[in-house]
Amino acid sequence: MIQRIATGTTVALLALGAAPVPAAGTRDYLDEIVVTSTRVDKDRLKVPMAISAVGQDEVQNTQQLGIDESLNRLPGVFFQNRYNFAQDLRVSIRGFGARANFGIRGIKIFTDGIPATVTDGQGGVDDIDIGSTRRIEVIRGPSSALYGSAAGGVISLFTEDGPPTPFVQLGLSAGEYDFQKYQAKAGGQTGALNWLVNSSYLNMEGYRGHSWVQHGQATGKFRYDIDESSTFTTIVSAFDSPRADDPGGLRAADVATDRKQAFCGLSAFNDSCAFQSGEAIDQQKIGFVYNKSFGAAHSIMLRNYYIWRNFESNQPFMDSGTIAFDRFFFGGGGQYTWTGQLFGHPNRVVVGFDAESQQDDRERWDNLFGVKGPLTLHQAEQADAVGVFIQNEFTITDNLELTVGGRYDRIDLTVDDSFLSNGDESGDLDFDEFSPMVGLLWSPLTQINMYFNYSTAFETPTFTELSNPAAAGTAGGFNPDLTAQKADNIEIGIKGLIGSRIGYDAAAFRIDVADEITNTVTVGSRAFFNNADTTREGVEAALTVNVFEGLDATFTYTWSDFTFDSFSLDPGAEGNNLPGIPENQFYAALAYEHRSGLYVTWDFLHVDNYYGDNANTVENSAYQVSNLRFGRPFRFDRLRVDPYFGINNMFDEEYIGNVRLNAFGGRYFEPAPKKNVYGGVTVRYEFGS
């Protein structure tokens, strides 16, 4: 049906004599790609660390189910769980974040400078508005010297600005598994005010049973140009997901019997349907960013934000199986940048601070088959953090630059227990950490940039990870044996250009992690954590080629050797591979755009086999997934119409989209959809010539 609609629309437009939209022409890789995730604006090739960026076309020209659709192309980054919205997308960078069974760990996430990672280190991308995202930057590797706790990597998203000519845009897409998505977007420049607003609604039944999702969101960015040297930006968003069902993990035998089934009727325990497993979220956010420059040498940036989040979830078990919390997360920060001469050499220094507070009112009840039973936990959780940082870039010679930085963080975690029938499980933990970094960039030629980087990271446990296994029935208190993890990263790399058509990027690294917070045991589908020492060694490479006018090719490769060094709680795991990370990963893509506007994109992803448990006894098979998308925009004066069509998993690969690490009862596997299609149309009207 989708194909008939797309074909019919194209034929009708051609019959009307629509004017084609010219292609952008040959891509020039000499164009500077400026990134800001390093706290200053800088050419990506001149940063002494592994950092990547994807643009608006790569982000928005997708089905827009998750950011993995555009970030799969980056080396060192691995995604799982696109199709289980109750568990959120699982993101790992150099292995950090792989252990998270819920949410995102080990990675700092920002949208327009406003954090989506809260103070205790838990992050999420469920409220990210892909439809208005213009750029995503990713720092690969420890970077606590810039961002503090939970910084095994950084993902920064930036939304569109309104164009000079105001516009309004409507979009509709549909596909298999009752996929439906609707979008409305508008923006422009009105005097000194630049604005863009976007809203969308997603409704999808899902590939597997009991995997329905519904959510709507609205976002807005309003930048007011106070004068030529200062701006004030307001960012607002609202996200409402009344339903996100969790089909649960399957045993290997269950997958072989029926890969589309949920874990329903297969056991009296952990039945996803009987316990109505899933979640509901309601969130609002507002943030403010002020930028001011004082000539060419001095500038300041101030930010302030407030986030309210209501969360409720049913887990597929009875004891304490219903969870709810009301969260208020707020904070701010500022930085000062000076650019000038130091000892007769170009120099830039940035100093700044961050301060934030997370306040959760958390409750748990017994899950009586989808109905709240007796209360089993009620506690107030508070995390407060303050960090100060400094980074200096000193140009030693015309082709040699030294970057040195450091950050001090103070983080306090407090639990105040209000449910005292099982004893007072209140407690607090404090962390003081200093994180240094040093980087050296040598550019012997304009198009060759070699670098060395030493960086560090630390990561505090989240409130969820601090749950005491000894209190599994009540889920309260602190785990007395869990502490913060620390990582030391040594990295060498090379990146640059060959002529104007080829871009390259390669890095090799070793990361030694002490006291890594690791999933050790699962009790009744609840994960508990302890510390272990690990080593990560890896190689990342990327090559982008403009083959000829209109045709671009992208290739990336990742090799990962991540192992347990010592593990006092589970000595049998010592020497084993870390679960959840493939040893080899390869990505290739071709993107063709004709001068008429016709475009075709094809991508291919190979993921090596990897383990699902610390003991390395459960292994997920390697898989290859390929996707295709094509379309052609048409213009009628001020009206532009973009029909498109896509095929996911076009070669019908049977693969596992998510592996639940150290899963209870052998329920490791969440099968991903086989071949499926989608299509849609976007209509945009511009108010002006």
| pLDDT bracket for residue 27 (50, 70, 90) | very low
Tokens of 221: 């960015």
Query: Is pTM beyond 0.85 here?
Result: yes
**pLDDT, mean of residues 52-68:** 94
CATH code, domain with 201: 2.40.170.20
**pLDDT, mean of residues 17-43:** 60
pLDDT tens figures, 137-163: 999 999 888 898 877 899 999 999 999
DSSP structure class, residue 162 = P
> 306 or 689: whose pLDDT is higher?
306
| pLDDT bracket for residue 354 (50, 70, 90) | very high
- Asked whether the predicted pLDDT for residue 581 surpasses 90, the reply is yes
Domain count, the chain: 1
d(CA 516, CA 642): 48
Window from 96-110, 395-409, 429-443 with minimum mean pLDDT: 96-110
- Asked whether the predicted pLDDT for residue 371 surpasses 90, the reply is yes
Highest mean pLDDT range out of 13-17, 253-257, 443-447, 465-469? Answer: 253-257
In angstroms, what CA-CA distances link 145 with 42, 489, 564? 17, 12, 25
DSSP 623-672: EEEEEEEEE--EEETTEEEEEEEEEESTT----EEEE-TT-GGG--EEEP
d(CA 208, CA 257): 13
pLDDT tens figures, 242-257: 999 999 999 999 999 9
Range of the domain at 510: 2-686
d(CA 520, CA 512): 20
> 477 or 311: whose pLDDT is higher?
311
Tokens of 656: 């596992």
Per-residue 3-state assignment (H helix, E strand, C coil) for 456-510: EEEECCCCCCCCCHHHCCCCCCCCCCCCCEEEEEEEEEEEEEECCCEEEEEEEEE
Residue 2 is predicted with a pLDDT of: 35
What residue type is assigned to position 58 of the chain?
E
Give backbone dihedrals phi and psi of 255, rounded to 5 degrees, phi first. -60, -40
**pLDDT, mean of residues 316-344:** 95
pLDDT tens figures, 507-534: 999 999 998 877 665 544 455 567 789 9
Residue 26 is predicted with a pLDDT of: 37
The percent of residues above 70 in pLDDT, for the chain, comes to 91
The percent of residues above 90 in pLDDT, for the chain, comes to 76
Strand 610-611 vs strand 619-620: parallel, antiparallel, or unpaired? Answer: antiparallel
pLDDT tens figures, 207-216: 999 999 999 9
